[in-house]
Amino acid sequence: MSNNKKITIPKSNRLCKINKIAFYGSADLNESDHEYAEAFAAAKHAAKRGKVIVNGGGPGIMEASTRGAKAGGGKTLVVTFYPEDLPEFEGRAEQNIADKEIRTANYIERMFGLMDNADLFVCFKGGTGTLSEWATAWLLAHLYYGNHKPLILYGEFWHEFMDVVHKNFMIGYKEAKVYRIVSNLEEFKVALRIFEEEMTARRLK
């Protein structure tokens, strides 16, 4: 497998509008799971507001967000790679049918490709892959604070999780400002609106 491509770091141009939203979460969830239904509904709402829904092209939360976007009449983008030697990676899901696909050379390029092609990140329950994506997106939001891409952490469990993080790590005030925790669709709608208002305020400065 070729590894000659250069990793693309998310752009630092001034961000003033949310056009594309990336969905992160477990690949092991299906239609019978509550989180799958929540991701579907959140993506549908965002798509109705004209947002492009972005994900990694796999099953679970990724598939749910693509399907939700389609139900909302919106556009979808998947950032993928096709591994030859990663037995624990879920890979591309045939049922995740998107409008556009960007293929990358490896997992790292895929992760940063997702971040480069989104203006906001929605993080659901997942495994180590979701944790790595959440942590990297949060770090970049801290580093680019004031011109950052915000995060919505979707699920009641995030309150307990982030309490542990804030108590045991050296987390600053600004790092707490770049994300919002939501427990349901109505709270998601509010968080999305607040982040859009904050970006509008940036543009007017």
Q: Identify the three-state secondary structure at position 198.
A: helix
pLDDT tens per residue across span 104-131: 999 999 999 999 999 999 999 999 999 9
What domains appear along the chain, each with residue ranges and CATH number? 20-84+92-204 (3.40.50.450)
**What's the whole-model pTM score?**
0.91
| Residue recorded with tokens 């970006």 | 199
How many helices and strands in the chain, by DSSP H and E?
7, 7
For the stretch 132-181, pLDDT in tens is 999 999 999 999 999 999 999 999 999 999 999 999 999 999 999 999 99
Tokens of 85: 């030697």
Sequence-distant (≥ 6) Cβ neighbours of residue 146 within 8 angstroms: 202
